[in-house]
Amino acid sequence: MTIDNSVQLEGRINAHRRLLVELVSVVAAIPEARAALVSMARDSETVSDHEEDPGIEPDAAFAAQQIADDEIRAILKAAMARLETRT
């Protein structure tokens, strides 16, 4: 049975995400690191305030950056939740 590339890619990404969430939760136990992670969750790398106007329909670069910002926040939220269950 062969598994197509998209399934392999999805499996690897899921494994990386699980590992990253665990590592971030361990790092977040350090107060200074936790403050930096909370700050990172509040920040956004997506342009705002018309710094670069994407027009009526943002192009793929804007969409990809928004997806990345959303994923960073989701990973940080999951890591903080995991840390809270340990304490």
pLDDT by residue (tens digit) across 9-35?
999 999 999 999 999 999 999 999 999
| pLDDT exceeds cutoff 80 at 58 | no
What pTM, to 2 d.p., does this model score?
0.76
What is the residue type of 79? A
In terms of Cβ atoms closer than 10 Å to its own Cβ (0-12, 13-18, 19+), residue 80 is middle
Is the CB of residue 24 less than 8 Å from the CB of residue 76?
yes
Q: Which residues contact 64 (CB under 8 A, 6 or more apart)?
A: none
Closest residue by Cα to residue 25 from 13, 16, 14, 37: 37
Q: At what angle do helices 31-42 and 60-86 cross, to 10 degrees?
A: 150
